[in-house]
Amino acid sequence: MAALGWLTPRRRSATARSVLAGEAAAEAARKTSAADDDAALLTGTSEEAPAEPVFPVAGDVRAAAFFDLDNTVMQGAAIFHFGRGLYKRKFFERRELTRFAWQQAWFRLAGVEDPEHMQDARDSALSIVKGHRVSELMSIGEEIYDEYMADRIWPGTRALAQAHLDAGQKVWLVTAAPVETATIIARRLGLTGALGTVAESVDGVYTGRLVGEPLHGPAKAEAVRALAAAEDLDLDRCAAYSDSHNDIPMLSLVGHPYAINPDTKLRKHARARDWRLRDYRTGRKAAKVGIPAAAGVGALAGGTAAAVALHRRRR
């Protein structure tokens, strides 16, 4: 499927598109966060807990937490799991499923967000949902969460989010996934809401266009900044969590940045700034980035090499 040319007007600067995407995500998140306050929380004992007993600060309502989704809260990428569910419901043909499967395999093996693969996946998904009703995709999204996503939540990251909730703070997902999908995941986890990529709809029907650009990289930071202004939050008292160096702009906004299952570039950046680390891929807990999780890093490196070799052969 060829890349779609309608994503964003060429005359807009990247910064302007990021601001537009961020503001749209913040507006969508605030509209949905108040719905269904009685959503069920996950139960059970968490395997991890925040390392700092004085953080988050209980009762600090001007603080909040922002969590990246893919490979931070959930193993793999939400957009790929969503694509699998749509294929099962015959939204597209087998050749497109093969494409989704390859993209998911790359993400799982490399452990990083490759912009080329992520953009390709978003183009495919947007073209597939064009002409469908938003309510239809929301209903299907609930089913897909149960089928493909619920068992992929990292218990350790979930415990960190719960610590903020227990302290009386709001917790938001911040992701390039469609805001509807992100909102479902946030609700199922008992979180406040979600900032996600906003797809345009008219009279409840998807047009096949985005508002701004995908909520990725700088656009995430813009979304967090816009939401913080609307919610009267003090970003110096807020926390952000991510696995990817693409989210350094978002992590740098807050006073409490955390690297979760970090890729190599984020690990290096976090080490230089003494940011906190949690790596749930190995079952080992490191209080500081300087304490390595050697076994997990070695296994990840081997998987990355295999994925790169496979990718080159396919080209």
70 catalytically annotated? yes
Report the interhelical angle of 94-110 vs 78-88 (nearest 10°). 160
Identify the CA nearest to 18 among candidates 266, 206, 211, 194: 211
CA dist., res. 159 & res. 167, Å (int): 12
Two tokens, residue 309: 């070799």
Report the interhelical angle of 115-129 vs 78-88 (nearest 10°). 40
Phi, psi of 56, deg, nearest 5: -75, 155
CA dist., res. 61 & res. 233, Å (int): 8
Q: Which of 60, 70, 146, 151 is catalytic?
A: 70
Whole-angstrom CA distances from 172 to 66, 68, 145, 155, 206 are 5, 9, 18, 17, 24
CA dist., res. 117 & res. 102, Å (int): 9
Q: Which of 36, 37, 38, 68 is catalytic?
A: 68
Name, in order, each residue with C-beta under 8 angstroms of 138's C-beta and a sequence gap of 6 or more.
180, 184
> Residue 274: is it exposed, middle or buried by C-beta count within 10 angstroms (0-12/13-18/19+)?
exposed
68 catalytically annotated? yes
Give the catalytic positions in this structure: 68, 70
